[in-house]
Chain A
Amino acid sequence: MSELVPLFVVIPLASAFLIPVIGRFVPWFQKSLTLLVLLFLTILSLSYLFTNTGETLAYKVGGWENVEHVPIAIFLVLDGLSGFIVLIINMLGFLSAFYAVSYINKYTAENNFYALLCLMIAGMNGVALTGDLFNLYVFLEIAVIASYALVAFGIERNQLEASFKYQVLGGIASILILFGVGMIYWLTKTLNFADASTILAQHAGSPTVTFIQVMLVVGFGLKAAMIPFHAWLPDAHSSAPSPISAMLSGVLIKAIGIYALIRLFFNVFTISSEIAIVITTIGALSMVIGGLLALRQWDVKRLFAFSSISQVGYVAMAIGIGMIVIARGGSQTVASLAIAGGLFHLINHAVFKGLLFLNAGAIEYRINTRNLKEMGNLAQFMPWTASTSFGASMSVAGIPPFAGFFSKLLIIIAAIKGGFFFLAALAVLVSVLTISMYMKYQRYAFFNKAHSEDRMKIKDVPFPMAFSMVIMGVLCLIMSLLIFPGVREIILDPAVDVLMKSSAYATTIIGM
């Protein structure tokens, strides 16, 4: 199956170029092609997870074989963790694109929209699959440049301003990342993850390596919107068209931020407890400050955006706890519990935050406002939007039986078992903040009295939007199954294994 791995990058990249050319002459071409491509890739990633449990598949671009155990080809590697991320990217991409079929009517230039979406997905898939440092940078730039354009898609004053800030800050981060990559190349004379990791292991703890790590933490930390590098996110995520907000908040910050960070720090660098503490600290900071800032927002999409900072902080904190435990040689079960909690929360956040942005889009589509104070009593007129957003809110707030509860449970229990009582207390605090902000959203948007009388006429959203929202709402509920052993073995455990057996990555690739 390893020949199929490059399809994840090639197909969306090709469609991104085909759409503006052919889509000009053939109506519906852009929509149907995007949907087909993303559906196919979702099925492909699912079939990988179900058939090759935990097995590493590598595709050597150009067919160059390893020479004396030195990998010289550019690798595309599909293992448990990449498969997990690729599944999230393409599944959410498909649902957002389906939603966009009716949502995007209010904009012109549909071709550009779908082309940029495909380009962004190609970039993210590339980041998730690549086994090469420079390719990581290139794919990352493809994804973020597409996202700059998509944030500004409405070309109104706010959108352009948000996109400009995002570009400046994102550009600085990219430079830092490139600088870090260059430093690694200078130090190890190689760009391959596996090869670099064996050489970096000899330099573990040296000031140069620490310096590189700081560059990468700041660079990817900005892409993942960790505090204090988060400032671009609330504007950018709230200004983009809603299906894109769903992709940005649900997927992009994780694929090019969290995923790249953990892939590098687990599989390329040797885990050091200093960096682990840094990641845990900025994770905890993001979690608390993001939550405090979100609670006072009245613009729905800004509220969700700030909450994304907070929730991604949860993920980073959980994974950081796992890193600290591993670095200190603590209990393996605690470390894997923390990492499983983090990854579980990551996929949960992708689904519920994606859904919440789609809900916000649905509300905006019908009553043309994002201000909570101007909504009210929508539950009566938009039952699908109301019920799905209730599911998403309960999931993010961590109420059983929704999936968010279980990931939160894992994270808190892991923090306590690892002896991080203060972090557990912070997690509890933020959990309370989270439920408060989502109850505020529920109350002002769907209950209360209607803001004005002419609301009596509105209908629920058209089928494609409702369909995507319902699917994601159901996912919010049934992803609780991921906690059950049978399902966990297929989706979550392979990803956790990649991180727990952090040196196995290099040996597998070198052995090929």
Chain B
Amino acid sequence: MEELNYIILLPVIAGIILFILPEKVKMLKGILSLIIAGITGYFAYMLYVAETGIFKGVFDTSEYATDSVMYKLLNGIEHYWSMNLDSLSQLIVLFIAFFSIIILIYSITSVKREKKLYNFYSYFLITLGCAFGAVLADNLIMFVVFWGILGLTLYKLIKGYDEESSAAANKTLILIAASDVIMIVGIGLVWVINGSYSMSAMNVSTTSGIGVMAFLTLLVGSFTKAGAFPFHTWVPAYAQKAPAASSAYLPASLDKLLGIYFLARLCKDLFVLNEWLTLVLMVIGVVTIIAAVMMALVQHNYKKLLGYHAVSQVGYMIVGFGLGTALGIAAGLFHMINNALYKSGLFLSAGTVEDKTGKENLEDLGGLSKAMPITFFATFIFALSISGIPPLNGFASKWMIYQGIIDFGKEPGIANQLWIIWLALAVLGSALTLASFVKFTSGIFMGQPKEQFKNLKETNFMGWFPMVILAIVCIGFGVVASSVVVPGLFEPIVGPIEYIGIWQSSLVGGLILISIVVGLLIYWIGNFKNFRTVDTYIGGETAGENFDYPSPGFYGTIQNAPFFSVMYKAAEKRWFDVYNLTKSIVLSTGNALSRAQNGILTNYIIWLFVGLLILLIILM
């Protein structure tokens, strides 16, 4: 299985070589990267259709003479370099390749304009190779190495040009790196229980305290990468400040795929969950959904709004995995793919809008639909999809999750008893998502066109093509969900799925498409030329900027409601942010300790002798 080596090493080595090319030929670098990504896409397809299994010693050291340098260097590496190619990793590898190609196409024209973003394509390709490595690795040590490199490239794909952006970059890397170290502890604990680093040979029970600790420490890694509560706080900060291509690439698609992939491995292969851990997963899942969507509702910055949604959607996936049933896991994986599709699309369209208008807040925008029709329609599809409107893909996976929750309620268990709560909160989260995307689409694209955007043009082909592709996939996955997508992509992973409700997505989708076509026909036949267009009538006054009511204003009601106002104020002071909480605790401890370091020599000598005395008293 040489492809297993090539798919990891080719992008990494190509990325390192790209460091040599100067920044002036960014376009060339982009095209070269696209070619490399295309080749890895081919490898990914080859792996998708290949035989599954554990591949040890893919690195064959016997090719080298025993006294050669390469042999000495690589001797024993086959111990670590073992790959697990099963239906789960095949699926993730395929989609990583897909998203990297789509986003590279978008980046070729957009990254050129980012002045201070150095070596974007090098880090892009290294990220790609390491993402494949992390998904395919069977050895936990090798896995955590690839996983850690991804945190580093994530940091390099955002540029620190001023206070806020460099603070966001710092927060991102600190949280990610902290989770990596915690994962090392988990790996050590797994070794203590199991005596092996091989993921495929593992089946750890969570009845002992040490097993639970191992699960939780590894879970931290997965949650931080995917951006789940309470380790999510880097996602909105990153999304607000990073270039669109970076946000679409890592937090929106690859990090979700990887984080959820690892969650799937944890829940499906590595550990046998007990009922309390199921409860923990369910609680974290619904808290993530609701808390993040509530924050998204009141944002004014549209990129930050998308960042909070990137968190909120993860909650659905966690709920899916928390269910632990075949239906639940399939629904979680399906939602992961869907989320990556529409969320990277949304980041790309947000990036396009920012690029064209230079505005960051919803208040300053409006009425762009006429100027940018393709972007508008694509965004509209994504927005409907993330809000769970049939027949789009977001509905399909959410519907599976709802069914899974109802099904889950039939079993005995603590978490099962509370099924109605999970269901209600998941549905509520979906409704709130719709509410905040009404604000997003209407704030940017609807309403009166503003004077300053009169001359706006649609983005170029490289800009809208990836969005259109993603939108088409969103529709396609939704319409053929029950007939093609779920049986084709997910049933090989989880086994046959039984639905409790009748669900024929093609039928529903077909009916909706027919009704749209019929509606359009009626619209055209009913001689629409007779419609008249007039300016907005405001009691005889001329409509101007001062009559424009920006869409975020409507959401102030929620922010000022009795209970919510307290919560929002606390959130504003960052009371719910692990990063800020820890930071203030650590800094105050440091300040207390530093009083002892007062520069007086006598004190220093006293410590020395106190230390000596204590040692003598203890040991003698």
Question: Contact residues of A with B, CB < 8 Å?
Answer: 164-165, 168-169, 172-173, 176, 207, 210-211, 213-214, 217-218, 221-222, 228-229, 231-232, 234-235, 274-275, 278, 289, 292-293, 295-296, 380, 394, 397-401, 405, 408-409, 412-413, 415-417, 419, 424-425, 428, 431-433, 435-436, 439-440, 442-443, 446-449, 481, 484-487, 489
Interface contact A413-B187, CB-CB below 8 Å: yes
How far does the alpha carbon of A486 sit from the alpha carbon of B71 in the complex, in Å? Answer: 8
Interface contact A214-B612, CB-CB below 8 Å: yes
Q: In the assembled complex, which residues on chain B have CB atoms less than 8 Å from the CB atom of A424?
A: 185, 188
Closest A residue to B589 by beta carbon equals A292
Of residues 154 through 188 on chain B, the ones whose CB sits less than 8 Å from some CB of chain A are: 160-163, 165-167, 169-170, 173-174, 177-178, 180-182, 184-185, 187-188
How far does the alpha carbon of A231 sit from the alpha carbon of B601 in the complex, in Å? Answer: 9
Of residues 105 through 153 on chain B, the ones whose CB sits less than 8 Å from some CB of chain A are: 116, 141, 144-146, 148-149, 151-152
14 contacts between A and B (CB under 8 A): A164-B601, A168-B601, A172-B608, A210-B619, A218-B611, A400-B152, A405-B145, A412-B188, A416-B185, A432-B582, A447-B161, A447-B169, A481-B73, A487-B73
Q: Contacting chain A: which of B28-36, B74-82, B326-334, B353-361?
A: B74-82
Q: Contacting chain A: which of B415-423, B508-516, B591-599?
A: B591-599
Interface contact A207-B620, CB-CB below 8 Å: yes
* With A165-B601, A218-B611 as contacts: A436 and B619 at CB distance below 8 Å: no
How far does the alpha carbon of A439 sit from the alpha carbon of B158 in the complex, in Å? Answer: 14
Please give the distance in Å from B499's CB to the nearest CB on chain A. 43
Closest A residue to B603 by beta carbon equals A231
Interface contact A448-B181, CB-CB below 8 Å: no
Q: In the assembled complex, which residues on chain A have CB atoms less than 8 Å from the CB atom of B590?
A: 292-293, 295-296
* With A217-B615, A484-B77 as contacts: A168 and B605 at CB distance below 8 Å: yes
User: Does B191 lie at the interface of the complex (its beta carbon under 8 Å from any beta carbon of A)?
Assistant: yes
* With A218-B612, A228-B611 as contacts: A293 and B605 at CB distance below 8 Å: no
* With A293-B593, A399-B177, A443-B170 as contacts: A413 and B611 at CB distance below 8 Å: no
In addition to A292-B593, A432-B174, A486-B71, 5 A-B residue pairs with Cβ atoms within 8 Å of each other are: A218-B608, A228-B608, A399-B177, A409-B144, A431-B177
Interface contact A436-B192, CB-CB below 8 Å: no
Interface contact B586-A448, CB-CB below 8 Å: no
Interface contact A401-B149, CB-CB below 8 Å: yes
Interface contact B608-A486, CB-CB below 8 Å: no
Interface contact A443-B167, CB-CB below 8 Å: yes
Interface contact A485-B76, CB-CB below 8 Å: yes
Of residues 559 through 596 on chain B, the ones whose CB sits less than 8 Å from some CB of chain A are: 582-583, 586-587, 589-591, 593-594
Contact of B74 among A207, A380, A440, A484 (CB under 8 A): A484
The prevalent SS among residues of A at the interface is helix
Please give the distance in Å from B373's CB to the nearest CB on chain A. 39
Closest A residue to B191 by beta carbon equals A417
Q: In the assembled complex, which residues on chain B have CB atoms less than 8 Å from the CB atom of A417?
A: 188, 191-192
The prevalent SS among residues of B at the interface is helix
Closest A residue to B76 by beta carbon equals A485
Q: In the assembled complex, which residues on chain B have CB atoms less than 8 Å from the CB atom of A164?
A: 601
Q: In the assembled complex, which residues on chain B have CB atoms less than 8 Å from the CB atom of A432?
A: 174, 177-178, 181, 582
Interface contact A231-B604, CB-CB below 8 Å: yes
* With A399-B152, A416-B192 as contacts: A425 and B185 at CB distance below 8 Å: yes
Closest A residue to B214 by beta carbon equals A416
Interface contact A442-B184, CB-CB below 8 Å: no
User: Does B549 lie at the interface of the complex (its beta carbon under 8 Å from any beta carbon of A)?
Assistant: no
Contact of A214 among B75, B146, B589, B619 (CB under 8 A): B619
Interface contact B188-A398, CB-CB below 8 Å: no
How far does the alpha carbon of A409 sit from the alpha carbon of B144 in the complex, in Å? Answer: 10
Q: In the assembled complex, which residues on chain A have CB atoms less than 8 Å from the CB atom of B116?
A: 380
User: Does B47 lie at the interface of the complex (its beta carbon under 8 Å from any beta carbon of A)?
Assistant: no
Contact of A408 among B170, B181, B189, B605 (CB under 8 A): B181
* With A416-B188, A428-B181, A486-B73 as contacts: A439 and B605 at CB distance below 8 Å: no
Please give the distance in Å from B493's CB to the nearest CB on chain A. 29
Interface contact A443-B169, CB-CB below 8 Å: yes
Interface contact A274-B619, CB-CB below 8 Å: yes
* With A292-B590, A412-B181 as contacts: A439 and B615 at CB distance below 8 Å: no
Interface contact A413-B191, CB-CB below 8 Å: yes
Question: Contact residues of B with A, CB < 8 Å?
Answer: 69, 71-77, 116, 141, 144-146, 148-149, 151-152, 160-163, 165-167, 169-170, 173-174, 177-178, 180-182, 184-185, 187-189, 191-192, 582-583, 586-587, 589-591, 593-594, 597, 599, 601, 603-605, 607-608, 610-612, 615-616, 618-620
How far does the alpha carbon of A213 sit from the alpha carbon of B616 in the complex, in Å? Answer: 10
Please give the distance in Å from B449's CB to the nearest CB on chain A. 35
Closest A residue to B217 by beta carbon equals A428
Interface contact B604-A435, CB-CB below 8 Å: no
Interface contact A440-B149, CB-CB below 8 Å: no
Closest B residue to A218 by beta carbon equals B612
* With A228-B610, A428-B182, A435-B178 as contacts: A169 and B605 at CB distance below 8 Å: yes
What are the nearest 10 A-B pairs in CB distance? A486-B72, A416-B188, A447-B160, A231-B604, A447-B166, A400-B148, A485-B76, A292-B590, A296-B590, A439-B170
Contact of B73 among A229, A295, A397, A484 (CB under 8 A): A484
How far does the alpha carbon of A436 sit from the alpha carbon of B587 in the complex, in Å? Answer: 11
Please give the distance in Å from A269's CB to the nearest CB on chain B. 13
Q: In the assembled complex, which residues on chain A have CB atoms less than 8 Å from the CB atom of B75?
A: 485-486
Please give the distance in Å from B116's CB to the nearest CB on chain A. 8
Q: In the assembled complex, which residues on chain B have CB atoms less than 8 Å from the CB atom of A484?
A: 73-74, 76-77
Interface contact B593-A449, CB-CB below 8 Å: no
How far does the alpha carbon of A280 sit from the alpha carbon of B252 in the complex, in Å? Answer: 44
Interface contact B166-A211, CB-CB below 8 Å: no
Contact of B163 among A213, A439, A448 (CB under 8 A): A448
How far does the alpha carbon of A194 sit from the alpha carbon of B295 in the complex, in Å? Answer: 69
Interface contact A398-B181, CB-CB below 8 Å: yes
Q: In the assembled complex, which residues on chain A have CB atoms less than 8 Å from the CB atom of B144?
A: 400, 409
Interface contact A214-B586, CB-CB below 8 Å: no
* With A165-B604, A425-B185 as contacts: A449 and B174 at CB distance below 8 Å: no
How far does the alpha carbon of A164 sit from the alpha carbon of B599 in the complex, in Å? Answer: 12
Interface contact A431-B181, CB-CB below 8 Å: yes
Closest A residue to B599 by beta carbon equals A235
Interface contact B591-A229, CB-CB below 8 Å: no
How far does the alpha carbon of A295 sit from the alpha carbon of B174 in the complex, in Å? Answer: 13
* With A168-B605, A231-B597 as contacts: A399 and B148 at CB distance below 8 Å: yes
Please give the distance in Å from B37's CB to the nearest CB on chain A. 21
* With A399-B152, A443-B167, A485-B76 as contacts: A448 and B71 at CB distance below 8 Å: no
How far does the alpha carbon of A201 sit from the alpha carbon of B462 in the complex, in Å? Answer: 77
Interface contact B170-A442, CB-CB below 8 Å: yes
* With A214-B616, A296-B594, A416-B185 as contacts: A401 and B169 at CB distance below 8 Å: no
Closest A residue to B152 by beta carbon equals A399
Q: In the assembled complex, which residues on chain A have CB atoms less than 8 Å from the CB atom of B165?
A: 447
Q: In the assembled complex, which residues on chain A have CB atoms less than 8 Å from the CB atom of B597?
A: 231, 234, 293
Interface contact A278-B619, CB-CB below 8 Å: yes
Please give the distance in Å from B531's CB to the nearest CB on chain A. 53
Contact of A210 among B72, B152, B185, B620 (CB under 8 A): B620
Interface contact B151-A399, CB-CB below 8 Å: yes
Interface contact B160-A443, CB-CB below 8 Å: yes
Interface contact B619-A448, CB-CB below 8 Å: no
* With A432-B177, A440-B170 as contacts: A416 and B189 at CB distance below 8 Å: yes
Please give the distance in Å from A91's CB to the nearest CB on chain B. 21
Interface contact B149-A228, CB-CB below 8 Å: no
Interface contact B586-A295, CB-CB below 8 Å: yes
Please give the distance in Å from B522's CB to the nearest CB on chain A. 58
Please give the distance in Å from B132's CB to the nearest CB on chain A. 16
How far does the alpha carbon of A176 sit from the alpha carbon of B145 in the complex, in Å? Answer: 44
Please give the distance in Å from B152's CB to the nearest CB on chain A. 5
How far does the alpha carbon of A81 sit from the alpha carbon of B223 in the complex, in Å? Answer: 42
How far does the alpha carbon of A234 sit from the alpha carbon of B598 in the complex, in Å? Answer: 12
How far does the alpha carbon of A213 sit from the alpha carbon of B618 in the complex, in Å? Answer: 13
How far does the alpha carbon of A165 sit from the alpha carbon of B590 in the complex, in Å? Answer: 23
Please give the distance in Å from A445's CB to the nearest CB on chain B. 11
Interface contact B615-A278, CB-CB below 8 Å: yes
